[in-house]
Structure 1
Amino acid sequence: MKPLCLIAVYLVAVTFPLILSMSFGWPPRQFHQELASGLGILAFSMILMEFVLSGRFRAVSNGVGLDRTMRLHQLAARAALVFALLHPLLYQGTPSGGPRPWDPGRQLTLTTDFSALSTGIVAYLLLAGLVVMAIGRTQLGYRYETWRLLHGVVALLIAILLLHHTVSAGRYGSHPVMTWVWLVMTGVAVGSLLVVYLWVPLRKRARPWHVASVNRLTPKQWEMTLAPDGHSGFCYRAGQFAWVTVGHSPFSMSENPFSICSAPASGSKISFMIKELGDFTRTVGQIERGTLAYLDGPYGNLCVDHRTEPGVALIAGGVGLAPLLSILRQMRLTGDSRKVKLVYGNRLADQIAYGEELGEEDVTYVLSEPPEHWKGEVGFIDAALLDRVFSDKEFGEWVFVMCGPTAMMGVVGDHLISKGTPSHRILSERFSYD
């Protein structure tokens, strides 16, 4: 699915209930009342679409990129919150009351039925809390598994509460046709959760893996290799990632996304480069060989195997080397004739992973805190360094693939654009969002 196609489908889905409501031809109310209803309808449809924009559906995230999918998910949630917050405020001064003989369809009045209003109020508060928790997840210090469970449960509760509120209190939602529309859309949202939390684990359980090895790369980076148990593994492209569950049930919330650093051409085993950051990653070195594991993937489109540019520029910061190493390994194993250059940044020399394998040719090492007698680049991956490594011709013709800290990718992306690199030749992927 192309980015423009995703945007078109998304816009059609979120505006369909609003357009359908407008087609009823009911007598118009005051502008601020109609605006309130419209914002409420948009907020609810956007919230339901959030379930699909979760990054766990390959047809969406692999086609347009996880960056775009998750960014749309994030921005849509914030927009829905704004619409939802404005929705009740714009009703001020509107006549309210229960059913009246002259207004049996409640087209000109608002309900005062507390049961119909209460579900909207609770959803109103939960939605604000959900967005705040998502934005401040790292600052709040929640374990990822705990946050993910809370996020899913609260989102489901919001959808159910809003369904009741919309159908029982809404001017348009009470129409039989609209009621069915909302039931179907809510069913799709709930169904997406069942796919992620039931169908996918069942599929993973049928194709188990085990830990073949765990090797220390640097003081805080590890390579974990998994081997398939009783099956041939799975097909993936260099540069993709997978959700990994180790030592837990496939139905467990204890799964984490890791980029694959092995090459598809290297065989059925799959390797991941993992940095000690969170609760699970700090225990990677303690995982024993033979431990049962499960994979959900592959995801992502940080891939260059079907591209026609004459050269590939790989720009990595820290553990962001993982997917780029997969690409580099695949190019070497398959005898890819395209030129390739790697820029690899770290803070300290002992954080450099796979140094012997990477070698020195066409590799630029960058350290922000170099040791004495360091011969590589010093500082950060910035515009000046890129100008030293790449020519104007390469900026204009090569494909640039980057993965690393958000700040680094922002600087690199801006400079590439300023140098005339077309946006379709700039590939990036990240796992953290502001």
Structure 2
Amino acid sequence: MTLAVRAVAAVLAYVGVVLAPLVFAAIGATDPGYGFWTNFSVALAFVGLAMMGLEFVLVARFKPVAAPFGQDALLQFHRQIGFLGLAFVIIHIVISINWGAILTFRAPAFIWVGVAAAAALVVLVITSVWRKRLRIPYEVWHVVHTLLALVLVVGALVHVYLVNQYLSSLWKQLLWGLMSAAFLALIGWVRVIKPWTMRSRAWQLVHVGQERGQTTTLRMAPPAGEEFRFDPGQFAWFVFNRSPFSLTSHPFSLSSSAEQGEIEIAVKALGDFTSAINQLQAGSKVYVDGPHGVFSMDQDEGPGFCFIGGGVGITGLLSMLRTMADREDARKAILIYANRDWESVAFREEIERLEKLINLTTVHVLTQAAADWTGERGYVDREMLSRHLPKGYRRFQYFICGPDPMMDAAEGALLGLGVPTERVHTERFNMV
């Protein structure tokens, strides 16, 4: 089955699961006391509940689910669905809730449980959207996010059971029970079963190095007797010096060649955990969940490649370049590398080494260049790209990774130059 067919099947399955609770509720519902708008709000609540339950699927790192889309795309979809679910819940509350009972504290239990679930959703969205403004450390946010999501889904399910209006028959109770069990099973898989399988497969941190641009490189060796295979450009989730049952793990792109036995990542000090990662010691235990992602030259073959990176976004691109060198790949490669200034260009010497091994041309772009800088200045745009792309560039494969504004500009510029959409590949992890 091709990835395109799997993608269509996954979308249809998603829609089916989202609408299933609504169908279950509608069949046989005969309460004449509900008007159109109340029934409409209840319908939105059912759809929203199914969406919230499926949020666990989107972040459960199931490779068959992520393969047609890419894990980064699923994470972005996960975020947008959170906004939509919040809108559905707010509409449901505004239309259906008995405000008099709430204000006089005489509401029945099912209302208070529903209010608690809704409050959990509101706090979850606020702490995700404004995490940095609220200065919530990533690790704290991750734990709070997980707990709030659990309160949200379990509370919403309990609310449905306590209302009992839509559980009038045994078969409906069984169907709702199966859906509830499925949601909880997903949590169990992610937080218990999968970490349990990883507990005896600890990796070892073998080297900690420093690069320009406040970037730390970490090289890790797999457990004895195990071989770790990945496509150049993919990423993995890492847990350092903690139990595999830790609620917090960190996604990083692999920067090493796919032809090497060990793996390497590069981490820029951006705050929270990343600012202290250079304090890790060789010999530390590391748990690795991966590889993940479809951002890879092995996924999208072409006669040549153009890699466009900004800052630490060079990581996955460097993996592809290193892999080309190890494979003695003779195809043309162009690297457009944007940074603030010349001294912050991470892996500068490594890129110069690769230029001697493969057919690579590098174009450095600096936003704060010194007066004597003779290279490209400013930002990656259509005019700048048109000066450096070779003949036949429309047949190349393009890989872009970096800050969102740079990625948006580069992607738009390539499309404006006539590069087919299917040849432009991006990877975004700005989920919160």
Q: TM-score, normalising length from structure 2? A: 0.90
The answer on 1:218 being equivalent to 2:225 is: no
1:306, distance to aligned residue in structure 2 (A):
4.2
Pick the aligned partner of 2:178 from 184, 189, 193.
184
Pick aligned residue for 1:269 from 262, 267, 270: 262
Q: Is 2:126 aligned against 1:128?
A: no
CA distance in 2, matches of 1:46, 1:144: 24
Instruction: Name the amino acid aligned to 1:420.
Output: G
Distance 1:137 1:6 in 2: 31
Q: CA deviation at 1:392?
A: 6.8
1:15 to 10, 15, 19: 19
CA gap 1:18/1:392 in 2 versus in 1, 3 angstroms: farther
Residue among 155, 170, 189 paired with 1:195:
189
- Against the structure 1 CA distance between its residues 116 and 377, is the aligned structure 2 distance closer, same or farther, given a 3 Å change threshold? same
Post-superposition shift, 1:362?
Answer: 0.9
Distance 1:16 1:24 in 2: 14
Q: Provide the secondary structure at the position in 2 that maps to 1:24.
A: coil
- Is residue 238 of structure 1 aligned with residue 232 of structure 2? yes
Does residue 1:86 correspond to 2:118, yes or no?
no
Structure 1 residue 61: deviation in Å?
Answer: 2.5
- Of 292, 295, 300, the residue aligned with 1:307 is 300
* 1:114–1:381 distance in 2 versus 1, CA, 3 Å: same
Mean alpha-carbon deviation: is it higher for 224-233 or for 290-299? 224-233
Contact persistence 2:114–2:159 (CA under 8 A): yes
Match of 1:107 in 2: none
The residue number in structure 2 matching 1:156 is: 150
Decide which moves more: 362-371 or 136-145: 136-145
Q: Does the aligned pair in 2 maintain the 1:247–1:291 contact within 8 Å? A: yes
d(CA) in 1 for partners of 2:221 and 2:229?
Answer: 13
- Say which SS state the counterpart of residue 239 (structure 2) adopts: strand
The 2-side partners of 1:247 and 1:88 are apart by 44
Residue 364 of structure 1 is matched in structure 2 by: 363
1:244 touches 1:255 (CA, 8 Å); kept in 2? yes
Contact 1:200 1:296 in 2 (8 A): no
Match of 1:384 in 2: 383
**Bigger mean CA deviation after superposition, 57-66 or 43-52:** 57-66
- The aligned counterpart of 2:241 is 247
**Identical columns (%):** 29
Q: Corresponding residue for 1:167? A: 161
Matched, 1:346 2:351: no
Cα distance change on mapping 1:34 and 1:326 into 2, 3 Å: same
Q: How many Å apart are 1:22 and its aligned residue?
A: 2.8
Aligned-residue offset at 1:219: 4.8
Cα deviation for residue 290 of structure 1 reads: 1.1
Q: Which runs of 4+ in 1 moved over 4 A?
A: none
Matching of residue 142 in structure 1 with residue 136 in structure 2: yes
Shift of 1:309: 2.0
Gaps of 5+ in 1: 97-111
Describe the superposition over 1:133-163 as per-residue Cα deviations: whole angstroms up to 9, x where unpaired. Answer: 1111122211211111111111111111111
SS of 1:63 mapped into structure 2: coil
Structure 1 residues 171, 203: closer, same or farther in 2, change over 3 A?
same
Assess if the C-alpha contact under 8 Å between 1:241 and 1:257 holds in 2: yes
Q: Secondary structure at the match of 1:271?
A: strand
**How far off its partner does 1:206 sit?**
1.7
Return the alpha-carbon distance in structure 1 between the equivalents of residues 26 and 414 of structure 2.
Answer: 45
Instruction: Give 3-state SS (helix, strand or coil) of 1:64's partner.
Output: coil
- What's the offset of the Cα at 1:170? 4.9
Other-structure match for 1:284: 277
Question: How many residues get paired?
Answer: 416
Query: Displacement of 1:428 after TM fit?
Result: 1.0
Name the amino acid aligned to 1:177: W
Cα displacement (A) at 1:91:
3.2
Compute the displacement of 1:364 (Å): 0.7
Change (3 A) 1:90 1:175: farther
Do the aligned partners of residues 118 and 349 (structure 1) sit closer, same or farther apart at CA in structure 2, a change above 3 Å counting? same
2:415 to 408, 412, 417: 417
Q: CA deviation at 1:378?
A: 0.9
Q: Is 2:8 the partner of 1:4?
A: yes
- Aligned-pair Cα RMSD in Å: 2.2
* TM-score of the two chains, using structure 1 as the length reference: 0.90
Unmatched tracts of structure 2, length 5 or more: none
Amino acid at match of 1:373: D
Partner in structure 1 of residue 312 of structure 2:
319
Q: Deviations over 1:321-357 (max 9, x none)?
A: 0001101111221122432111111001111122222
**Is 1:44 aligned to residue 38 of structure 2?**
no
Q: 1:65 to 1:44 in 2, by over 3 A?
A: same
- CA-CA distance at 1:232 after TM superposition: 2.2
- Counterpart Cα distance in 2 of 1:392 and 1:179: 64
CA distance in 1: counterparts of 2:323 and 2:39, whole angstroms:
57
